[in-house]
Amino acid sequence: MGILNVTADSFSDGGRYLVLDSALARARQLVAEGADLLDIGGQSTRPGYTEISEAEEIARTAPLLRALATEFPRLPLSIDTYKPAVAAAALAAGAHIVNDIHGLQGPCGPALARLAADTGAALVIMHHDPALSATCLPALPASPSPLLESVLTFFRRSLDLAAAAGLPADRIILDPGIGFAKTQPQNVALLRNLHALHALGCPILLGVSRKSVFGHLLPELATPADRLEATLAATTLAVAQGVQLHRVHDVAANRRAALIAAALRAG
């Protein structure tokens, strides 16, 4: 999944693709590098982000989605939003997936679930529980733990909300939400135990590309631009644990790493 942020303040590429022509050029590059789908975001959700209006978010994303749907009619497109009006506009413009960082447990979660159910869209449910970061566990053992059970409980609640809205589980993808309301030990523990999420029966998406979790592990990785090798290591680890979807900025390199990891895993 190639990341395409049409935002002014995203942590890695904010401001680079605000102009439609620049965004389209970047999309073409991601597709040429082997992206299987694109995730379009108009609202940054980095730490300390500034909320923008629904109208502005739609103005940033809908024209790009319409252009991409025309140019790449068979390419799945995702809208990264937690706002139903933005999601509705994106789906009307050609998107196929809604990527909700609040995992249906934000104030607009039920509306997003109904929208996905009514339109036939798929839905990414991301784990984002601010209460979790209050518990700092140094490691997650192979056996069940409070951290892992907390994440699984969150996802079960989200799946129940989706089912109540009429959205079947086979249109849901789960994202552990690395870097969202989690301590550094919790982020690392989840990355080591992604395989446990398969118990819920949904595809898993990992979105850890260029994130500060790597800078905390290796201080010389001070900026997002320094973190390609670290992202490749995480992608490889995730493939070894059966993770199916990888949300990344550097598509070509991550695709190669994933293919080699998959080949080695398959023997």
Q: Which amino acid type is present at position 124?
A: V
Q: What does the pLDDT read at residue 136?
A: 56
Q: What does the pLDDT read at residue 9?
A: 65
Q: What does the pLDDT read at residue 240?
A: 97
Active site residues: 211, 247
Q: What does the pLDDT read at residue 189?
A: 94
Q: What does the pLDDT read at residue 8?
A: 77
Q: What does the pLDDT read at residue 7?
A: 84
Helix (H) or strand (E) segment spanning residue 171: none
Q: What does the pLDDT read at residue 142?
A: 44
Copy the structure tokens of residue 137: 């566990």
- pTM greater than 0.95 (yes/no): no
Copy the structure tokens of residue 170: 């086979």
Helix (H) or strand (E) segment spanning residue 145: none
Helix (H) or strand (E) segment spanning residue 146: helix 146-164
- For the four alpha carbons of 25, 20, 8 and 55, in that order, the dihedral sign comes to negative
Q: What does the pLDDT read at residue 141?
A: 46
CB atoms near residue 169 (< 10 Å): 11
pLDDT in tens, the chain (267 residues): 999 999 876 665 667 788 999 999 999 999 999 999 999 999 887 766 778 899 999 999 999 999 999 999 999 999 999 999 999 999 999 999 999 999 999 999 999 999 999 999 999 999 999 877 666 554 444 444 788 999 999 999 999 999 999 999 999 999 999 999 999 999 999 999 999 999 999 999 999 999 999 999 999 999 999 999 999 999 999 999 999 999 999 999 999 999 999 999 998
Q: How many CA atoms lie within 13 A of 4 on its CB side?
A: 30
Rounded distance between C-alpha atoms, residue 53 and residue 209, angstroms: 26
**Which DSSP letter does residue 204 get?**
B
Q: What does the pLDDT read at residue 137?
A: 53
152 Cβ contact list (under 8 Å, min separation 6):
196, 197, 199, 200
2-266 topology per CATH:
TIM Barrel (3.20.20)
Q: What does the pLDDT read at residue 139?
A: 47
120 Cβ contact list (under 8 Å, min separation 6):
171
Rounded distance between C-alpha atoms, residue 23 and residue 28, angstroms: 9
Rounded distance between C-alpha atoms, residue 237 and residue 175, angstroms: 15
Q: Where are the domains of the chain?
A: 2-266
CA distances from 149 to 196, 221, 249 (A): 10, 31, 30
Copy the structure tokens of residue 124: 């990414």
Rounded distance between C-alpha atoms, residue 170 and residue 122, angstroms: 8
- For the four alpha carbons of 170, 171, 175 and 181, in that order, the dihedral sign comes to negative
Q: Which residues pair with 188 in a beta bridge?
A: none
